[in-house]
């Protein structure tokens, strides 16, 4: 006997979603406003006459709301076309500048901003969402989880020809020392927390950019005092007033920069290398250059309680044009055909002899030949169209090629419009004449001196070719296994300069073995038209057996020194990295020592044991015993017999 009754309406308005815990057919959504209600609950109870459990089923059934959508079936509900496209905070710009000696500097610049977020992190309620549009989703958690307010990452490789090419692009603010360089401003309550966050940050970045940034540990981390300071007027927000800001910096000298580091760079862009200037970014071409630098700077910008992150992603690359063009013609290097050789006809010239002419000064090339790709349309995400500017002198012709036609503008800046493929065409009759480069205000070179296994010296040469004194901060972070003696600091100068003439103040934090590096910062003034060298001595430490890297004989890379020019111009550059050779042990030595000592100990023990345990007898006894037994005994018997035999026939002389 079954009785069914309906009691009361149950509107599960506790929350709308829970209503759908039933098996509702996917296709049954017709009206989203008032879709499902449990009209009634059929609750059946069975009588228990025979006390047999027969189970119950289906006591709750969803009632489908049969209201059909009055919209046209072909129209997609809730999907509109707006009059104007949405504009997102994204901007991209390409700057091209031919450099002397047939090189071309290309600077890809991307600017992105995140959505606004509230600074009030105590509101960890269920209303917290992170929304992203063009800003990469992977960067914000990195900043949030480590309380980082600013992070700057540089991947640089190659040689920038300071004397010919002048200053670094963007006054050196966007390039680091050879290898990987990272510095960040971290908000923390104390020093240790800041360092823990820093380690976390470097680990996260390491995963994000496929680089060994996680090898930046306490022995590679410094807290710069006068270098790496934020720019003028730049305010770094503090989310919690009781906290402090810490500036930490670390570098991996000469760390290889490779395609796998660049792929994440492109992935961070909303255009993903498929639109705008990012289409030109091909690892093969970027890394086949004389000098390249990939940089990322993320900063926090706040207005009252609302903040957002701003990110600048720059890729600068200096390419030698003839080499790159030749590479695209002949991907596998092979000798140039005889007919293509440029020979000096004024000298002896035949089928076998050719005196080469100097490189042609005429230049004519297209960007697509250099990067192997075209600019595939403008980026459509931002309000700003993709822009390409060429900085050339008057003897150059810069044209933009769209759909087979060439166009030029007065200022050599071209807006990339629409979805057409764009190309830049450059032509000149004299490649040595370029837009004048700004000379570097000061030159610094650094080298290692000495060839001993246990000590060495560092020598930095400062040269100011200008007629103004230059004020700068010289920053150096040296590994702990270089035991520096600051007392040996010497100046060599032809004009008789003294140390006190050039160094205004010194910040020196000595290294602690395996814990922190030597941190040295000089505030210096380089007098006009002067050259001098600073040198100091250091001892080389012996590393522990396991501290040597697998390629111990390669030597140890010493990171570059950072020169921050304060006046007369703001400029920043790094010296080259150094390669320090430490005495490398014979790695099989410990085992040899073990074997040798063990052998000696075994020998001594054996002798001692035998002396104590073996029977001591006199020589006669021993001979006797030997005669009685053993091979030697028999030999002696035979010998005796033989002696007797030979003695017998011999007549006595007496």
Residues from 63 through 122 that contact another protein (CB under 8 A): 69, 73, 76-88
CB 100 within 8 A of CB 437: yes
Distance CA 5, CA 382 (A): 62
Interface pick for another protein out of 148, 197, 222, 271 (rule CB under 8 A): 271
User: 76: buried, middle or exposed (CB in 10 Å: 19+, 13-18, 0-12)?
Assistant: exposed
Cis peptide preceding 568, ω within 30 of 0: yes
Neighbours of 415 (CB within 10 A): 13
CB 214 within 8 A of CB 203: yes
Minimum separation from the CB atom of position 579 to another protein (A): 31
| C-beta closer to another protein: residue 78 or 550 | 78
Q: Does 598 bind another protein (CB under 8 A)?
A: yes
Q: Does 44 bind another protein (CB under 8 A)?
A: yes
Interface pick for another protein out of 256, 549, 602, 630 (rule CB under 8 A): 602
| C-beta closer to another protein: residue 615 or 647 | 615
Q: For residue 314, is it left (φ>0), alpha (ψ between -120 and 50) or beta?
A: beta
Q: Is 457 helix (H, G, I), strand (E, B) or coil?
A: strand
Distance CA 178, CA 193 (A): 29
- Tokens standing for residue 151: 């992070």
Q: Does 635 bind another protein (CB under 8 A)?
A: no
Q: Is 376 helix (H, G, I), strand (E, B) or coil?
A: strand
Minimum separation from the CB atom of position 133 to another protein (A): 5
Q: Does 544 bind another protein (CB under 8 A)?
A: no
Q: Does 618 bind another protein (CB under 8 A)?
A: no
Q: Does 652 bind another protein (CB under 8 A)?
A: no
Binding mask 572-591 for another protein (x = CB under 8 A): -------------------x
| C-beta closer to another protein: residue 47 or 646 | 47
| Interacting positions 418-447 with another protein (CB under 8 A) | none
Interface pick for another protein out of 34, 51, 546, 654 (rule CB under 8 A): 51
| C-beta closer to another protein: residue 126 or 553 | 126
| C-beta closer to another protein: residue 271 or 477 | 271
Interface pick for another protein out of 63, 625, 638, 643 (rule CB under 8 A): 625
Minimum separation from the CB atom of position 209 to another protein (A): 12
Interface pick for another protein out of 334, 494, 544, 614 (rule CB under 8 A): 614
Q: Is 52 helix (H, G, I), strand (E, B) or coil?
A: coil
| C-beta closer to another protein: residue 83 or 403 | 83
Q: Are strands 562-567 and 556-558 parallel, antiparallel or unpaired?
A: unpaired
- Give the interface segment with another protein, choosing from 246-254, 265-273, 294-302, 303-311 (CB under 8 A): 265-273
- Give the interface segment with another protein, choosing from 48-56, 226-234, 253-261, 393-401 (CB under 8 A): 48-56
Minimum separation from the CB atom of position 285 to another protein (A): 21
Q: What distance separates the 2 farthest-apart alpha carbons in the chain?
A: 153
Q: Phi and psi at residue 472, in whole multiples of 5°?
A: -150, 165
Please name the residue ranges forming H helices in 346-494.
367-371
| C-beta closer to another protein: residue 33 or 410 | 33
Q: Does 56 bind another protein (CB under 8 A)?
A: yes
> DSSP string covering 143-191, please?
HHHHTEEEEEEEEEEE---HHHH-SPGGGGTT--SSEEEEEEEEEESSH
Interface pick for another protein out of 542, 589, 594, 622 (rule CB under 8 A): 594
| Interacting positions 184-213 with another protein (CB under 8 A) | 204, 207-208
Nearest CA to 149 out of 298, 306, 304, 313 is that of 298
CA 6: distance to chain centroid? 68
| C-beta closer to another protein: residue 504 or 599 | 599
| C-beta closer to another protein: residue 99 or 153 | 153
**Is the four-CA dihedral 259, 260, 265, 268 of positive or negative sign?**
positive
Minimum separation from the CB atom of position 599 to another protein (A): 7
Distance CA 505, CA 523 (A): 5
| Interacting positions 381-410 with another protein (CB under 8 A) | 381
Minimum separation from the CB atom of position 273 to another protein (A): 8
- Give the interface segment with another protein, choosing from 223-231, 441-449, 611-619, 634-642 (CB under 8 A): 611-619
Q: What angle do CA 330, 332, 337 make, to 5 degrees?
A: 50
Q: How many residues contact another protein, by CB under 8 A?
A: 95
Q: Phi and psi at residue 215, in whole multiples of 5°?
A: -80, -5
Minimum separation from the CB atom of position 81 to another protein (A): 4
Q: How far is CA 432 from CA 169, 361, 410, 453, in A?
A: 19, 7, 22, 46
Q: Does 145 bind another protein (CB under 8 A)?
A: yes
Nearest CA to 320 out of 370, 248, 250 is that of 370
Q: Does 1 bind another protein (CB under 8 A)?
A: no
Q: Does 46 bind another protein (CB under 8 A)?
A: yes
Nearest CA to 177 out of 153, 198, 196 is that of 153
Minimum separation from the CB atom of position 206 to another protein (A): 12
Q: Could you give the angle at which helices 191-208 and 139-146 cross, rounded to 10 degrees?
A: 160
Which residue, chain included where needed, has tokens 């007549």? 651
Minimum separation from the CB atom of position 20 to another protein (A): 5
| C-beta closer to another protein: residue 175 or 378 | 378
Q: What angle do CA 98, 377, 92 make, to 5 degrees?
A: 60
Interface pick for another protein out of 65, 133, 447, 581 (rule CB under 8 A): 133
| Interacting positions 14-33 with another protein (CB under 8 A) | 14-18, 20-24, 26-27, 29, 32
| C-beta closer to another protein: residue 265 or 538 | 265
| Interacting positions 485-524 with another protein (CB under 8 A) | none
User: 48: buried, middle or exposed (CB in 10 Å: 19+, 13-18, 0-12)?
Assistant: exposed
- Give the interface segment with another protein, choosing from 5-13, 94-102, 148-156, 162-170 (CB under 8 A): 5-13
Q: Does 138 bind another protein (CB under 8 A)?
A: yes
Interface pick for another protein out of 64, 121, 191, 274 (rule CB under 8 A): 274
Minimum separation from the CB atom of position 76 to another protein (A): 5
């Amino acid at each position: 006997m079954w009785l069914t009754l309906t009691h009361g309406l149950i509107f599960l308005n506790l929350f709308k979603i829970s209503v759908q815990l039933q098996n509702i057919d996917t296709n049954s959504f017709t009206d989203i406003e008032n879709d499902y209600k449990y009209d009634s609950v059929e609750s059946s109870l069975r009588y228990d006459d025979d006390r047999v459990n027969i189970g119950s089923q289906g006591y709750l059934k969803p009632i489908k709301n049969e209201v059909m959508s009055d919209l046209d079936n072909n129209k997609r509900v809730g999907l509109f076309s707006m009059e104007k496209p949405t504009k997102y905070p994204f901007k991209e710009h390409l700057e091209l500048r031919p450099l002397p000696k047939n090189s071309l500097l290309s600077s890809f610049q991307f600017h992105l901003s995140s959505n606004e977020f509230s600074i009030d992190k105590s509101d960890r309620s269920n209303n917290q969402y992170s929304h992203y549009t063009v800003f990469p989703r992977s960067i914000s958690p990195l900043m949030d989880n480590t309380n980082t307010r600013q992070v700057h990452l540089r991947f640089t490789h190659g040689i920038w020809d300071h004397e010919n090419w002048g200053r670094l692009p963007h006054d050196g603010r966007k390039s680091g020392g050879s290898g990987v360089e990272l510095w960040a401003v971290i908000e923390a309550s104390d020093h240790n927390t800041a360092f823990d966050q820093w380690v976390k940050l470097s680990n996260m970045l390491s995963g994000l950019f496929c680089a060994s940034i996680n090898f930046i540990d306490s022995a590679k981390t410094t807290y710069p005092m006068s270098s790496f300071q934020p720019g003028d007027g730049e305010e770094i927000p503090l989310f919690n007033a009781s906290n402090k800001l810490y500036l930490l910096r670390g570098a991996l000298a000469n760390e290889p920069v490779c395609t796998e580091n660049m792929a994440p760079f492109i992935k961070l862009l909303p255009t993903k290398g498929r639109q705008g200037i990012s289409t030109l970014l091909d690892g093969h071409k970027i890394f086949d250059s004389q000098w390249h630098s990939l940089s990322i700077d993320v900063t926090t910008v706040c207005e009252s309680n609302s903040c957002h992150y701003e990110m600048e992603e720059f890729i600068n690359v200096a390419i030698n044009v003839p080499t790159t063009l030749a590479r695209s013609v002949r991907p596998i290097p092979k000798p140039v055909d005889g007919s293509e050789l440029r020979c000096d006809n004024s000298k002896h010239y035949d089928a076998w002899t050719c005196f080469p002419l100097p490189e042609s000064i005429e230049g004519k090339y297209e960007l697509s030949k250099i990067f192997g790709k075209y600019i595939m349309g403008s980026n459509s995400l931002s309000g700003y169209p993709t822009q390409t500017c060429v900085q050339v002198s008057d003897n150059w012709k810069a044209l933009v090629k769209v759909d087979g036609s060439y166009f030029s503008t007065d200022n050599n800046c071209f807006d990339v419009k629409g979805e057409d493929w764009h190309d830049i065409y450059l032509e000149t009759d004299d490649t040595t004449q370029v837009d004048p480069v700004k000379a570097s205000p000061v030159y610094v070179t650094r080298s290692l001196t000495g060839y001993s296994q246990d000590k060495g010296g560092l020598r930095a040469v400062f040269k100011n070719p200008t007629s103004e004194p230059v004020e700068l901060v010289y920053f150096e972070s040296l590994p702990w296994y270089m035991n520096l003696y600051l007392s040996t600091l010497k100046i060599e100068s032809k004009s008789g300069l003294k140390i006190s003439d050039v160094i205004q103040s010194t910040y020196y934090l000595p290294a602690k073995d395996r814990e922190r590096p030597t941190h040295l910062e000089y505030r210096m003034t380089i007098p006009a038209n002067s050259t001098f060298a600073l040198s100091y001595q250091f001892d080389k430490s012996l590393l522990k057996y396991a501290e040597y890297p697998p390629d111990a004989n390669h030597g140890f890379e010493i990171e570059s020194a950072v020169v921050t020019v304060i006046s007369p111009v703001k400029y920043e550059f790094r010296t080259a990295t150094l390669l320090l050779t430490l005495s490398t042990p014979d790695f099989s030595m410990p085992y040899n020592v073990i074997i040798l000592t063990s052998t000696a100990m075994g020998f001594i023990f054996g002798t001692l044991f035998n002396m104590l345990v073996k029977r001591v007898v006199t020589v006669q006894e021993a001979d006797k015993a030997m005669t009685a037994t053993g091979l030697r005994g028999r030999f002696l018997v035979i010998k005796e017999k033989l002696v007797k035999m030979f003695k017998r026939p011999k007549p006595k002389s007496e």
